[in-house]
Amino acid sequence: MQVLLAVASLALAALTATATSKSDHQIPSLPGYNDAKPINFDQYAGYIPLPSNGQKMFYWLTESESNPSTDPLVLWLNGGPGCSSISGFFTELGPFVVQSDLTVKRNPYAWNRKANVVFLESPAGVGFSQPLLNATEYTDDITAARAAEFLQQFLEMHPRFKGRDFYIAGESYAGMYVPFLVHHLVTKPVAALALTGFAVGNAYTDQKIDDASYMDYFYSHGLISIESYRRIQTTCKPTELWLCQNGYKGCSDACAAAYDDTNMEMSADMMNPYYIYGDICFLQSNQTKLLKYRTSATSKAVPVGPCADVFTSQYLNLAHVQEAIHVTRPGSSSTIDWTDCSNAVGERYHSSLTVLDKYPTILKAGLKALVYSGDADSVVNFIGTQRWLTTDGLNLTVTDKWHAWYGPDKQLAGYKETYGNVTFKTVKGAGHMVPATRPLQGLYMFECFLYGSEACQGFVYPKTRADYVSGATLGDGIGAVNPNTALWWWTAIGASVVVGVVVCVYVMRKKTAKKTQYVELTASKSPTYAT
């Protein structure tokens, strides 16, 4: 009987999958869209059931603005574990940004300019994906297998992407998700899926190595005193730090005391560890609650990035929005409660201690890889990432030594080092969520990864705009920030500063009777800017 029920369940799932077509998922009109630029790409959203178990995986596909029939396909995954990729869609790299009045504007730095990007809410229980699973099913191996099954079904619904160059990208705990999925696809390929490369940003990769780098980062960025740093160095063994960070056995009382005192010294109500140059508003969301849970003594999970936009949450919980993106049926009065992160999934998830053991097989497959770090993120910082790439982990051989890289605005964007097919880049001034905190540099880095540095230098890029507001700018608890008001305020301040500087320069030049000469920055080949 159980066998018959299982067969019936699989048959029903298969029937449901085939009953839904590509056209059923198309979004002809996005509720609340209020931007001067028309939506110039096709988009699709909805559920794709998995034949193996009937789980309903929610995705949102935005086709390329340029050449959707030839541009590569990219899968984007946010981290957690337990956080939604749709929050990344609206607050980082997707084409839309929700405003305070719940209207929707365009993001000029969207990653679907020259790529077809699919955002997947994974695993089931996250965002709109259903249902919430038993704890035994929340492992990185199972999550990878289910994501691979989703990709297979996705290609059946959208067969035009079969054989297309395919990349997987993500950030934070996707530092686990992505390599696990890539390893799964390398060892158990999905037919017609042309896996070409992967990218991970501020990637949680190895708990021991990543956690042991915290104090070095804190001290080097002026967050703790030299006295506390020296106390940590003299009191704690290098192998103890990650144990103390997670409350594991093996942390000596002396090291635990030094660690706790140093954390108390650094902690401040108005400090954002995910973006140390950012404002406290980034911490007002469910992801903060997740952080509080995950830093408990019994937790093995890593905290994810800063808050998903409160405006986004309000928007996605509107009944007519859920109907438009095919979460609910037309005319349905019920809605599904969407949250940026699921505490229930986070609490059940069995996080891996490391994914480094997957890399040898991945690297042998000849895939190109980009590992990037916003250097203003203290939580999954560039120091730990460099260590697991080189001295303390993979011990990769340097093929192109450390040097600066520049953005399309000719300004220093960060530093890079290459190890064969693997490129590591820092992004200057970026936090945990690079596309949100340094959108122009993040977009340029992404497109250079897909198409090569020579090609991306010929692309047209938007100028850095003061009127671009990501969803991570809402202040909650200290007064909500209206993006339009905030922008006028900062524009006024900026204008005042500029006027003041001009006056001062004029006076100084009159006094000294000298003329300042300016040298225009030049480059051998520079991207063109849109006006």
Q: What is the pLDDT along the chain (531 residues), one digit of tens a residue?
A: 444 434 444 444 444 444 577 789 999 999 999 999 999 999 999 999 999 999 999 999 999 999 999 999 999 999 999 999 999 999 999 999 998 899 999 999 999 999 999 999 999 999 999 999 999 999 999 999 999 999 999 999 999 999 999 999 999 999 999 999 999 999 999 999 999 999 999 999 999 999 999 999 999 999 999 999 999 999 999 888 889 888 899 999 999 999 999 988 887 766 788 899 876 554 344 433 333 333 332 233 222 233 347 889 999 999 999 999 999 998 887 899 999 999 999 999 999 999 999 999 999 999 999 999 999 999 999 999 999 999 999 999 999 999 999 999 999 999 999 999 999 999 999 999 999 999 999 999 999 999 999 999 999 999 855 444 444 443 333 233 333 333 443 344 444 444 444 444 444 444 443 333 322 323 333 344 443
Into how many domains does the chain fold?
1
In a domain, 431, yes or no: yes
In a domain, 517, yes or no: no
- The pTM (predicted TM-score) of the whole model is 0.82
How far apart CA 107 and CA 486 sit, in angstroms, is 18
Distances (CA, A) of 77 to 81, 89, 147, 308, 407: 10, 10, 10, 14, 25
Contact 203, 174 (CB under 8 A): yes
In a domain, 359, yes or no: yes
**What residues make up the domain containing 407?**
26-206+302-462
Q: Cβ neighbours of residue 16 under 8 Å, at least 6 residues apart?
A: 49, 54
In a domain, 474, yes or no: no
Closest CA to 55 of 136, 121, 5: 121
How far apart CA 93 and CA 114 sit, in angstroms, is 12
Strand partners, 370: 199, 423
What's the token pair of residue 202? 């501020």
Closest CA to 463 of 494, 439, 446, 480: 439
**3-class DSSP state of 16:** helix
Matching residue, tokens 């100028």: 463
CATH number of 453's domain? 3.40.50.1820
Q: What is the pLDDT of residue 388?
A: 98
How far apart CA 189 and CA 184 sit, in angstroms, is 7
Q: What is the pLDDT of residue 464?
A: 59
Catalytic residue selected from 87, 172, 213, 378: 172
Closest CA to 123 of 413, 279, 351: 351
Closest CA to 139 of 180, 197, 167: 180
How far apart CA 394 and CA 160 sit, in angstroms, is 37
In a domain, 152, yes or no: yes
In a domain, 505, yes or no: no
How far apart CA 17 and CA 160 sit, in angstroms, is 17
Closest CA to 431 of 480, 388, 470: 470
Q: For this structure, is 71 an active site residue?
A: no
How far apart CA 407 and CA 434 sit, in angstroms, is 14
**What does DSSP say about strands 194-201 and 368-374: parallel, antiparallel, or unpaired?**
parallel
How far apart CA 477 and CA 161 sit, in angstroms, is 45
Q: Cβ neighbours of residue 456 under 8 Å, at least 6 residues apart?
A: 444, 447, 448, 527
Distances (CA, A) of 48 to 129, 203, 516: 9, 27, 63
Residue type, 20: T
Residue type, 240: E
How far apart CA 319 and CA 345 sit, in angstroms, is 24
How much of the chain is in helix, strand and coil states, percent to nearest 5? Answer: 40, 15, 45
Chain-centroid distance, C-alpha 375: 14
What's the token pair of residue 287? 């992801």
How far apart CA 170 and CA 168 sit, in angstroms, is 7
C-alpha angle 220-226-230 in degrees, rounded to nearest 5: 105
How far apart CA 96 and CA 98 sit, in angstroms, is 7
CB burial string 424-447: b at 16+ within 10 A, e below: bbbbbbbbbbbbbbbbbbbbbbbb
Catalytic residue selected from 122, 184, 432, 470: 432
Q: What is the pLDDT of residue 332?
A: 82
The rounded radius of gyration (Å) of the Cα atoms in the chain is 24
Q: Cβ neighbours of residue 234 under 8 Å, at least 6 residues apart?
A: none
Q: Cβ neighbours of residue 283 under 8 Å, at least 6 residues apart?
A: 272, 274, 306, 307
> How is residue 302 annotated by DSSP?
P
Q: What is the pLDDT of residue 263?
A: 87
Catalytic residue selected from 299, 377, 378, 470: 377
Contact 399, 420 (CB under 8 A): yes
How far apart CA 304 and CA 84 sit, in angstroms, is 11
How far apart CA 149 and CA 128 sit, in angstroms, is 18
In a domain, 149, yes or no: yes
Q: What is the pLDDT of residue 451?
A: 98
**What does DSSP say about strands 165-171 and 400-406: parallel, antiparallel, or unpaired?**
unpaired
Give the other-Cβ count within 10 Å of 56's Cβ: 17
In a domain, 407, yes or no: yes
What secondary structure, in 3-state letters, does 363-413 show? HHCCCEEEEEEECCCCCCCHHHHHHHHCCCCCCCCCCEEEEEEECCCCCEE
Q: For this structure, is 350 an active site residue?
A: no
How far apart CA 359 and CA 342 sit, in angstroms, is 29
